[in-house]
Structure 1
Amino acid sequence: MHPSLQDIRLVAFDLDGTLIDSVPDLAAAVDAMLVGQRLAPVGEAKVRDWVGNGSHKLVERALACVLGEAPDTARVTASHDGFLRAYHAAPCERTRAYPGVSEALGSLEARGIIVTLVTNKPAAFIDPILEALGLRRYFRMTLGGDSLAEKKPHPAPLLHLAAQFGVAPAQCLMVGDSRHDVEAGKRAGFRTLAVPYGYNHGEPVVSSRPDGVVESLGELV
């Protein structure tokens, strides 16, 4: 057993950048939203640095980049609606699970560890993507960025999961790719484990000082 799993009863995984590489589809939706406003597309590389704080923030960052200034709230709201329409139309055409993900989830399930998911992505997208990738069956509970009043890096979603299953935070593990995952885990009293290959706004996730790092989730098998 990997040291990070010692005495752990519940694992909460982040989604984008941890379990799946969703940027190709997110970038396509962002660009469709921009082109629909006769603005220049931004492309996949930029979107890769903007993911992680929820879809509203992603849209806001894209608009600010193209407009050269912070967009007003009304424009962000209207643009966000356009982004959601585009993303709903194709949420999992080029999105793929990272190597080792299904093996890790299956191994945790076989050991009787409670597997959950907490993401800042809107909840409506979670099941369609997990189903398309054959991963939904592993998760006992999933939370999106709009499932509760607060989202990561606030600890509330993680504490909600722990409470739902009656597990002490000290026996829970947060697995993610960004400083927001690590911060949420630490604030909730969870152990934290990071992967270095995801989306962290161009910063190495180790600088957030997680309790552990794995190059691949396959190391948890």
Structure 2
Amino acid sequence: MKKVIVIRHAAIRDLGSFHAVLKQENFNVQFLEAEDDIIYSPVSLNADLLVILGGPMCANDQDRYPFIKEEIKVIKERIKQKKPVLGISLGAQLIAKALGSDIYPAPHKEIGFRDITMTAEGEKSSLRHFNHTRVLHWHGDTFDLPKGATLLASTELCPNQAFSYNNNVLGIQFHPQVTKDDLAGWFECDKSRKEVKETPGVDLKNLERQREVMADRLEQCARWFLKDWLRAIGF
């Protein structure tokens, strides 16, 4: 059985719809809690696949969160060994940082369901399954496109929404894996509600309406995407 290590930074930022797909694809799914578990170890270095999820911290907060340094070390080593890595939100930022890019606050926080614009390369990639589908954005930081990476998708607020590197490393700034139930938990979280309240142009009731209309479609596209990407990288 293949093994996937999933690094989680917050209980509510979970694997979502990806979990069932990984099980169906015969992966043994093991979680590492970033703040509690040893991150840089043979467990994360030797896994068939590494998935790094989102979280409320910034990829630059290495002094405050020492595990970030460990994650960057793991990413660098796996890239050197040509082992696959998938990063979501903070995970994408950590991949970008491991590849030498700067991480910095976006002009405005991007929260809510919005379209992404695919590049020509994105149209040919596994991300094509999100074409014409509004995906969930929930981030305040962004990053420069790493040298040697291929840009796959953009939005007006964050031009570097998704990129690939060496064909088997993928960074996604938005949250493709979030389910309707996951979002209910996000909306009940005091920190999330505070963040929504403090972000101009974002309204919790509107987010809840978007969830009802768009989350099921996002979940379906996420399953298609992950199955396709796993095939593309040789699983």
Structure with bigger strand share is 2
Structure with bigger helix share is 1
> For the pair shown, which has the larger CA radius of gyration, 1 or 2?
1
TM-score by length of 1: 0.31
TM-score by length of 2: 0.29
Higher RCO (CA < 8 A, seq sep 6+): 1
